[in-house]
Structures are given as C-alpha cells and as structure tokens.
Amino acid sequence: MKLQQLRYIAEVVKHNLNVSSTAENLYTSQPGISKQVRMLEDELGIQIFGRSGKHLTHVTPAGQQVIDIANDILSKVESIKKVSEEYTKPNQGELNIATTDTQARYALPQIIREFIKRYPKVNLHMHQGTPSQISEQAARGDADFAIATEGMHLYTDLIMLPCYHWNRSIVVTRDHPLAKITKPSIEDLAQYPLVTYVFGFDKASEIEKSFKRANLDPRVVFSATSADVLKTYVRLGLGVGVIASMAIDANIDKDLVAIDASHLFAHSTTKIGFRRGSFLRGYMYDFMLHFAPHLSRDVVEKAVALRDQQLIDEMFASMTLPIR
C-alpha cells in the first residue's frame, strides 16, 4: 500500500469516478492511475470501485470504508507537512477560508486586512459558497476554516467554535410606511412582502420561527444569499428587507432606513469550524483569536480536547460572546 494509491482513489472519487479528468487534474497519466488503483485493489483483495466493463460505475461498500480512512490518512499527511513548516517557516504558509458571502463581505475584511499585515508571507485564499459547500470543503481538508452561521452541524468531522452573535435589521426605503415606526411588531412586519436570505442557506430559520410563533405566515417574495443583492431589491421596492445588521453601512446605505429587529428575531451565532484532527498552524490560532477574541489558543485547544461537539457547545454556553 502506497500513499499515492490512497491519493489516487480519493481523487478519483472526488472526480466522480472519472479517471481521465482525475489524471489531468493531478498532472499525471490516466493509465498510471488506473494501474495503481487496480494494484491497490489486488493487494487488498477487494474491489474499491464497481465496474461495468471498463468503466467505473460506483464505489463498493468496502471501497467507501477504505476511502473514508484514506482521506483521514491523507489529511494527517498534510498535518505532518504543516508541523514541519511550523518549524521551518513559522510565518509562511497557506490559509484557506471557506465562508459565506455575508461573512466575506462584512465580518472578515477588517480581520483579514490586519492578518495580511501581520503575516505578509501567508497566502490567503477565500472560498465562497453555501454553508454546506463550505462545511464540506473544511471537512475534506480543502479549506482550513469554515465560517458560517448555519448548516455546519451536520458534519461530525468538523469542530465548531462559536464566534459572535448577530441580529437582524429591517431595511426599507425612506418612503416606506415602516420607516416611521421605531419598534415595529411582528404583525406590522407581516403586512409586507419580505426580501431576505434564502431559506436553509444562511439563517431564514430564525425568521420563520418568529412568524410561526405569532401564527403568521411571512410572504418572502425574493430571497438571495447576498446582503448586497437583497438591498438592491429593497431599493427597487420589491419588499421589506430582513438583513444581518452588520451588513448595513451607514455611509453607503443612506437612502435606506434600517430598524433594529433584535426584539423580533432571536440572535444567530456565527461559528468557525475546522477539521477534527488537523494540525493548526500558529497563524491559524492567531487568526481565530483576532476574529473572535475569546478564542485564545488555550481555549481552542481545550475545546479540541473535549472531542464532542455537545461538550464544546456547553463549554461556550457559559461564556459571553461578542455581539455584532
């Protein structure tokens, strides 16, 4: 068994069992991969991939187990490399952050600006996507961190640490009736069509909950993943925006009126997640500390040692998190 063979089968799976495109992606030849895959199968005495003739059609049950472990191994191989780089070039390396549009646009810029100043030799890559894409990237090891508010809890391979709470605001044009109400009720809001985040994407659930509690049925006429897009459609008069408060810029959004809605909707919590068992570089700890000041190295290491997500949640339940 060779590490390359494990790399090959893992990559083949990631390329939907297409060996040719896998080879292209790895800058190697297709026959080379084919051969190594079959050699591994021969050595283990099992089929990892099901075949119809010469085509790979599916992953066998045994194969799936092997691939899961192989990914674990490959991730640990990366950890070894990171360990050595931590000693050879402590302030140099990669930082891959997978996050949602809102975080990338409003929560992260200041942090990242400081981070780049502090670690000019660390190459920073931002990956945007839906919460589930983000979580998977982190769980697969394609990203060091996943930063999102929802949808990460499904991945047991991720350790998630709460970073900050945030509330929503109601956003309307200056001439909208709601603009004159300083503290609108949920019933007030229910009278108007809504413009808010895509359900299941970021945080629609908290909004739905509040309406359900009041036995109301919100009418979402437009949803998107990006606060900027939402604001644009609020400006077009499509409806009333319900948007993360941090996404409102007093300078840029002068033409809009933002009304705090923390009395209507429970706060949400943005979390940072990383792969269980992955080695964290010094600058990664530092990044977390600057993103969420309560996440000191000690705290993070303690949380990791707890292993169980529920215990981690309990650990932070007693801590007061910043509110943005």
Residues of the shown chain interacting with its own copies in the complex, contacts defined by CB under 8 A: 1-3, 44-46, 62, 65-66, 69-70, 72-73, 76-77, 79-81, 83-88, 156, 277, 279, 305-308, 310-311
Write the interaction track for DNA spanning residues 43-62; mark x where CB under 7 A is met and - where it is not.
--------xxxxxxx-----
From the CB of 156, what's the least distance to its own copies, in Å?
Answer: 8
Q: Token pair of 135, please? A: 């979580």
161 vs 246, beta carbon nearer its own copies: 161
Contact between 161 and DNA by CB under 7 A: the answer reads no
Number of CB atoms found within 10 A of residue 213's CB: 9
Contact 194, 221 (CB under 8 A): yes
Calculate helix-pair angle for 30-44, 3-14, nearest 10 degrees. Answer: 110
From the CB of 2, what's the least distance to its own copies, in Å?
Answer: 7
Q: What gap in Å lies between CA 239 and CA 219, rounded to an integer? A: 10
In the list 11, 36, 286, 292, the residue contacting DNA (rule: CB under 7 A) is: 36
Interface with DNA in residues 54-113 (CB under 7 A): 54-57
From the CB of 62, what's the least distance to its own copies, in Å?
Answer: 5
DSSP 252: T
Q: What gap in Å lies between CA 71 and CA 285, rounded to an integer? A: 24
2 vs 212, beta carbon nearer DNA: 2
48 vs 242, beta carbon nearer its own copies: 48
36 vs 196, beta carbon nearer DNA: 36
Contact between 35 and DNA by CB under 7 A: the answer reads yes
Say which residues have a Cβ less than 8 Å from residue 201's Cβ, sequence separation at least 6: 100, 130, 131, 150, 151, 223, 225
Contact between 42 and DNA by CB under 7 A: the answer reads no
Contact between 2 and DNA by CB under 7 A: the answer reads yes
Radius of gyration of the CA atoms of the chain, in A: 23
46 φ/ψ angles, rounded to the nearest 5 degrees: -130, 160
50 vs 228, beta carbon nearer its own copies: 50
From the CB of 196, what's the least distance to its own copies, in Å?
Answer: 36
Amino acid (1-letter code) at residue 47: Q
Q: Which does 52 bind (CB under 5 to 8 A by kind): DNA, its own copies, none?
A: DNA
From the CB of 228, what's the least distance to DNA, in Å?
Answer: 38
DSSP sequence for 189-229: HHTS-EEEEPTTTSSHHHHHHHHHHTT----EEEEES-HHH
Contact 143, 98 (CB under 8 A): yes
User: Where along the sequence are the contacts to DNA (CB under 7 A)?
Assistant: 2, 4, 17-21, 27-32, 34-39, 51-57
